A and B are shown apart, each in its own frame.
Chain A
Amino acid sequence: MNTIIQLVISGLLIGSIYALMSIGLTLIFGVLRVVNFAHGEFLMIAMYGAWAFSKLLGLNPYIAAIAVVPAMFLFGALVYRLVIGSALEKPHLVVVFATMGLSIFLQNAALMAMTADLHDVPPIFGRSISVGHVFIKGELLLGFVITLACTIALRWVIKYTFLGKAIRATVQDGEAAKLMGIAVPKIFLITFAAGSALVGLAACVMLPLFSVFPTVGLNFVLIAFVIVVLGGMGSIEGALLGGFCVGVVQSVGSYYVAPAFGQLFFFVLFLLVMIFRSNGLFGQKGAATLGMNE
């Protein structure tokens, strides 16, 4: 019994961190209606950035967020300007292939610059905190707290600020938003950059837990996709809950069956969701059929 509780709690915590990494992806999809296939590589770049910052200045990755998050914002804006922006008016395929190409580009650029060696930071917290019979790693708990804070902050921005309203207007009807004087391309740019900044934050939280290497993005991008689909494309709360599901499934699955099968389980989970509830748990109805024929 204790084992299950431990597994579930660990799963929820790691799941929240997975969710943090996925919120950017779901936000970008909700507003721009594109899937950034290079999302994992954005995470990888940010993790390298956080690592470099830690190494150079001797600070821990959480502090590094002060530099990494704005840097990722700018990086996202740059990528939008160079690649995404002009791909948006073209057939849907172009964005898919462009972001896939970007993914390969970034992976190999990192390979050239940093070699395939794994890099990580020393553990920040000493022993795990124990609550009753359950042991919780400090890094996981802090990540969980940061994720919750972030989600609440985002909700507040979207609901109460002008930017948030402009974003919601753009999501509901881009044409009408333009007519109302909202600079839709600017909203797209800001959203894409913000999504990238969120990935930067996730990277700082993940570096204490995972090593970074050029292809680390591949592992996480599929997890991010599963979470985003489960939670419903465009739903921030959905991403959080999706993250919890995935975290718990992986935690429990890896323990009772081999770790590789832990991965298998959540791909199967993904496919099952696609068959039965393709709008995710919280997504908009019809979200699953958006795409080609629009």
Chain B
Amino acid sequence: MPQRGQISWFEIVLFTSCVIWVAFGFAPALQDVVVLSFLFAGLALAWNIAGGCAGLISFGHAAFFGIGAYTSTILFQSHGITPWLGIFAGAAAAAIGGAVLSLICARLKGPFFILSSLAFAEVVRIIALNWSSVTGGAEGLSIPPVPDVANMVLGSKPAYEALTLIYLILAYAIMRWLEASRFGFYLFAVRDNDDAAAAAGINPLMVRSSAMALSAALTGVGGTLFAQYFLYLDPTYVISPELSFQFALLPAVGGLGTAIGPILGSFLITPLSELLRANLGNAAAGLHLVIYSAGLIVVMLYFPSGIAGALEKLKSRKPRP
């Protein structure tokens, strides 16, 4: 039984390595990949709160990512509010979005919930694409690439590595807190059997909405960081089903409902997909995705508990004295 709430040596070593890596500015050529790996690890953890812990498998989380990104960027570009504050507004807006989705799906489970989350994200995307006066429509929004720390436009890649690492650690801390708190246990209860949870005095709708709002808020924060890194928001990517799929895929491969799983998923897949895209993207359009998705199917069929689950099984097979 995975020890809930206990931080393993492996995790301590992992985080320490990350901090050292960033502090010493290793591998300048890989800095883009590192930033993305940290960012997506945080996003995977955020998705995991709803998907892995509360059982709300959403394929529409890109909507919250986009809401966060657009909110802070619009506040910055049109109203001069620094993204350091805008990031909170983005998180709040995304949280509201999460609560709305939850209410819409109050009585839904399984595939119906998944489809509703997809539809919800599509609605948000179409609004973003068409409300040109506010969101810039299909042209998107851009932020001038002028280093400006007061407005979260950091000059150097290592600085972004640090920023996204902080995001990752924050997401991890929230996940660990969930595992050690009554609220977190309520999430697990509602996930595993919400009739039993109701009989135990838990209001499943309240718990699900709170979980979704928290997950959405944290995802929205990631959106703002993304906007501040790439300095350009394109609605067809930022609120796409592909991105939503990514948010769900990483925890699924790494291990749902665990703290380390989403991180492992991101650290494995993000560099891999960048590597494939870089080396094979030119050879034939789409080859890297063919390999990537075939690999995914194989992993899902043979390792349904993800990497974390497989590691647990290995551990428990070791002979005990």
- The chain A residues found within 8 Å of chain B, CB to CB, are 29, 34-35, 83, 86-87, 90-94, 96-98, 100-105, 107-109, 111-112, 115-116, 214, 218, 222, 225-226, 229, 233, 258, 260-261, 263-264, 267-268, 270-271, 274-275, 278, 288-293
Shortest distance from the beta carbon of A227 to any chain B beta carbon, whole Å:
11
* Among candidates B104, B248, B256, B301, residue contacting A271 with C-beta atoms closer than 8 Å: B104
A261 to B112: give the CA distance in the assembly, Å. Answer: 23
A105 in contact with B293 (CB, 8 Å): yes
A102 to B296: give the CA distance in the assembly, Å. Answer: 9
A292 in contact with B109 (CB, 8 Å): yes
| A-facing residues in B3-29 (Cβ within 8 Å) | none
Specify which chain B residues have a CB less than 8 angstroms from the CB of A116 in the assembled complex. Answer: 285
Specify which chain A residues have a CB less than 8 angstroms from the CB of B193 in the assembled complex. Answer: 293
A115 to B293: give the CA distance in the assembly, Å. Answer: 18
Shortest distance from the beta carbon of A102 to any chain B beta carbon, whole Å:
6
* Among candidates B55, B106, B118, B297, residue contacting A101 with C-beta atoms closer than 8 Å: B297
Number of interface residues of B (CB under 8 A): 50
Q: A108-B287, A109-B290, A264-B126 are in contact. Are A96 and B114 (CB under 8 A)?
A: yes
A34 to B111: give the CA distance in the assembly, Å. Answer: 8
* Among candidates A100, A104, A111, A267, residue contacting B119 with C-beta atoms closer than 8 Å: A267
B contacts with A: majority SS: helix
Specify which chain B residues have a CB less than 8 angstroms from the CB of A97 in the assembled complex. Answer: 248-249, 252, 296, 300
Q: A96-B114, A112-B286 are in contact. Are A267 and B300 (CB under 8 A)?
A: no
Q: A35-B111, A222-B122 are in contact. Are A93 and B252 (CB under 8 A)?
A: yes
| Binary interface encoding of chain B residues 292-303 relative to chain A, with 1 for a CB under 8 A from any of its CBs, else 0 | 111011001100
* Among candidates B55, B57, B104, B191, residue contacting A96 with C-beta atoms closer than 8 Å: B57
Shortest distance from the beta carbon of A256 to any chain B beta carbon, whole Å:
15
B123 in contact with A267 (CB, 8 Å): yes
Shortest distance from the beta carbon of B290 to any chain A beta carbon, whole Å:
5
| A-facing residues in B92-147 (Cβ within 8 Å) | 104-116, 118-120, 122-123, 126-127, 129-130
- The chain B residues found within 8 Å of chain A, CB to CB, are 55, 57, 59, 104-116, 118-120, 122-123, 126-127, 129-130, 191-195, 241, 245, 248-249, 252, 256, 284-287, 289-290, 292-294, 296-297, 300-301, 304
A–B complex contacts, Cβ < 8 Å, 16 sampled: A86-B301, A90-B304, A96-B114, A97-B249, A97-B296, A102-B293, A105-B289, A108-B286, A218-B241, A225-B115, A267-B119, A288-B112, A290-B111, A291-B111, A292-B109, A293-B193
* Among candidates A87, A93, A108, residue contacting B290 with C-beta atoms closer than 8 Å: A108
B57 in contact with A93 (CB, 8 Å): yes
Task: Identify the interface centre among B114, B129, B249: most chain A CB within 10 Å of its CB.
Answer: B114
Specify which chain A residues have a CB less than 8 angstroms from the CB of B296 in the assembled complex. Answer: 97, 101, 104
A212 to B251: give the CA distance in the assembly, Å. Answer: 34
A94 to B301: give the CA distance in the assembly, Å. Answer: 7
A271 to B126: give the CA distance in the assembly, Å. Answer: 15
A112 to B290: give the CA distance in the assembly, Å. Answer: 9
Q: Given A35-B111, A268-B123, 15 more contacts at CB 8 Å?
A: A100-B249, A101-B297, A104-B293, A109-B290, A111-B286, A116-B285, A229-B112, A258-B130, A263-B122, A264-B126, A289-B110, A290-B110, A291-B113, A292-B191, A293-B193
* Among candidates B118, B248, B289, residue contacting A104 with C-beta atoms closer than 8 Å: B289
A228 to B13: give the CA distance in the assembly, Å. Answer: 49
Specify which chain B residues have a CB less than 8 angstroms from the CB of A109 in the assembled complex. Answer: 286, 290
Closest A residue to B127 by CB, please name it: A264
Specify which chain B residues have a CB less than 8 angstroms from the CB of A222 in the assembled complex. Answer: 118-119, 122
Closest A residue to B52 by CB, please name it: A93
B304 in contact with A91 (CB, 8 Å): yes
Specify which chain B residues have a CB less than 8 angstroms from the CB of A292 in the assembled complex. Answer: 55, 109-110, 191
Q: A29-B111, A274-B108 are in contact. Are A93 and B304 (CB under 8 A)?
A: yes
Shortest distance from the beta carbon of A272 to any chain B beta carbon, whole Å:
9
B245 in contact with A100 (CB, 8 Å): yes
Specify which chain B residues have a CB less than 8 angstroms from the CB of A268 in the assembled complex. Answer: 123
Shortest distance from the beta carbon of A101 to any chain B beta carbon, whole Å:
4
Shortest distance from the beta carbon of A84 to any chain B beta carbon, whole Å:
10
B194 in contact with A293 (CB, 8 Å): yes
